[in-house]
Amino acid sequence: MNKDRFPYRAYLLRLWAVKDDPDETLRASLEDPRTREIKTFPSLEALFTYLRQEMGIEEEVPSELL
* pLDDT 10s digits, 24-65: 789 999 999 999 999 999 999 999 999 988 888 766 656 665
User: Is the pLDDT at 66 greater than 60, yes or no?
Assistant: no
pLDDT band at 9 (very low <50, low <70, confident <90, very high): confident
64 vs 7 pLDDT, higher one: 7
- Return the exposure string of 14-30: e unless at least 16 CB atoms fall within 10 Å of the residue's CB, then b: eeeeeeeeeeeebbbeb
pLDDT, position 42: 93
Domain map (residue ranges) of the chain? 1-54
Greatest mean pLDDT among 6-10, 21-25, 31-35: 31-35
